[in-house]
């Protein structure tokens, strides 16, 4: 297992960094052709998409990842069929709420009715793609996963550049490129899942109830993360200016690079993690603890190296009109490193079905984040948003650690 795990980690990290990195490599082009107001609009749409995707199916890929090792492929196929039903129902609910609130969210955009419709469909396609990606991840075929992500990323970037540079569509070019490519990706995902036996037509009210009971509490967890990770841009746009939100969005964009690396390592580790947790062997429990410790050490080392290296990367990738964003990146790197440390230990609580606990502590941290944003932005400006994010993620991490040690009977001292 160790050799395959190390091989998959290397492939996931290199492939994910390359695929996601392509979005950063085109930043010099985007920051040249797009205005600060364009980036402000993209930031607002990203915030809306992030929270809308939470409630379409309530992040069903988490259920598939956690339960697959227990259920097996045949039984999970029946759950996936019911997940699609849940996604369709919740899609209609999300579309209704977006339409009702369209004039508040996009008051400066004349075609807000059409925009929220497009956003709802984009969210639905993204959730389906996440589901498909989780299945490929569970197959432990890192090359296949990276290849699918590469095709999806490159076609999106290519179409976005065509619309922005050649047709001068501005922020609309980036948005509609993503919408169209995610639509095609979702179509392929349906074909692949049906062909390979991951979908079994089996409407079951009991399974829908089980899915809802597990996933709905987790929606509070994801909402909490949304608040801590994206709502600061909304506060900046309203309390300072759309330009300030655009500058901060660039800082977040450069910070998210570390999240990409952390997530790539976790994508290789998670299938093994849940297999080990399903075992009663003490040696497997030791492996879980060792893996958690090694990952934590990696996060801390990478955090320090990235803070030292990011000024040079920033100069290569970002137009000089956004130079102010560099001031806030070190604080945000520390913030997202706390988030990187938290993810694998939260999976331990998810495995034990402590989803209400996970949702509760995340909402507490999110409320703290809202309060801190309101007060610190007024005092420190854009710095205040970065401070609020760092403090909130730190609180979330340490509370999570407390509950992991309370509920998870693992040999943390390696004995």
Q: What is the pLDDT of residues 357-369, one digit of tens each?
A: 888 888 888 889 8
Which of left, alpha, beta for 69 (phi over 0: left; psi -120 to 50: alpha)? alpha
- 303: tokens are 């955090």
Percent of the chain with pLDDT over 70: 91
Pick the closest to residue 40 from 249, 255, 327 (CA basis): 249
Work out the angle between the directed axes of helices 142-161 and 112-138 (0-180°, nearest 10).
160
For residue 309, pLDDT beyond 60: yes
pLDDT at position 261 is 84
pLDDT at position 297 is 92
- What is the per-residue pLDDT across 127-179, written as a single tens digit (0 to 9) for each? 888 888 888 877 777 778 778 888 888 888 888 888 877 777 777 788 888 88
The 8-class DSSP code of residue 166 comes to I
If you average pLDDT over residues 180-201, what whole number do you get?
Answer: 84
pLDDT at position 275 is 77
- What is the per-residue pLDDT across 221-233, written as a single tens digit (0 to 9) for each? 777 777 777 777 7
pLDDT at position 43 is 72
Question: Residue ranges per domain, the chain?
Answer: 2-407
């Amino acid at each position: 297992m160790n050799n395959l795990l190390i091989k998959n980690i290397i492939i996931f990290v290199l492939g994910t960094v390359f695929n996601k990195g392509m979005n950063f490599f085109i930043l010099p082009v985007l920051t040249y052709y797009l205005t600060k107001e364009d980036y402000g609009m993209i930031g607002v749409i990203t915030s809306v998409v992030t929270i809308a995707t939470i409630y379409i199916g309530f992040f069903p890929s988490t259920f598939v990842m956690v339960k697959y090792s227990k259920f097996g492929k045949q039984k999970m196929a029946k759950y996936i069929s019911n997940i699609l039903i849940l996604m369709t129902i919740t899609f209609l609910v999300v579309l209704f709420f977006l339409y009702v609130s369209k004039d508040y969210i996009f008051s400066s955009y004349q075609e807000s009715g059409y925009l929220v419709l497009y956003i709802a469909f984009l969210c639905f396609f993204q959730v389906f793609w996440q589901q498909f990606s989780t299945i490929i991840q569970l197959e432990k075929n890192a090359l296949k996963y990276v290849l699918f992500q590469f095709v999806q990323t490159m076609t999106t970037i290519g179409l976005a550049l065509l619309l922005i540079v050649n047709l001068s569509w501005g922020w609309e070019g980036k948005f509609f490129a993503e919408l169209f490519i995610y639509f095609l990706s979702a179509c392929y995902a349906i074909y692949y899942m049906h062909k390979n036996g991951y979908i079994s037509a089996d409407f079951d009210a009991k399974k829908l109830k089980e899915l809802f009971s597990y996933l709905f509490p987790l929606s509070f967890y994801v909402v909490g993360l949304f608040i801590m990770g994206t709502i600061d841009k909304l506060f900046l746009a309203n309390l300072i200016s759309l330009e300030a939100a655009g500058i901060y969005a660039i800082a977040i964009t450069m910070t998210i690079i570390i999240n990409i690396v952390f997530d790539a390592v976790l994508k290789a580790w998670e299938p093994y993690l849940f297999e080990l947790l399903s075992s009663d062997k003490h040696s497997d429990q030791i492996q879980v603890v060792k893996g958690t410790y090694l990952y934590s050490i990696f996060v801390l080392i990478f955090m320090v190296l990235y803070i030292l290296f990011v000024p040079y990367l920033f100069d290569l990738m970002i137009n000089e009109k956004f130079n102010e964003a560099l001031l806030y990146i070190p604080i945000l790197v520390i913030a997202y490193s706390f988030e990187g440390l938290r993810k694998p230990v939260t999976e331990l609580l998810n495995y034990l079905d402590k989803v209400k606990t996970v949702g509760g502590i995340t909402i507490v941290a999110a409320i703290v984040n809202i309060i801190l944003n309101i007060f610190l932005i007024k005092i420190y400006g854009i710095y205040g948003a970065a401070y609020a994010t760092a403090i909130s993620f730190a609180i979330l991490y340490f509370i999570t650690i407390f509950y992991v040690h309370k509920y998870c009977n693992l040999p943390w001292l390696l004995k």
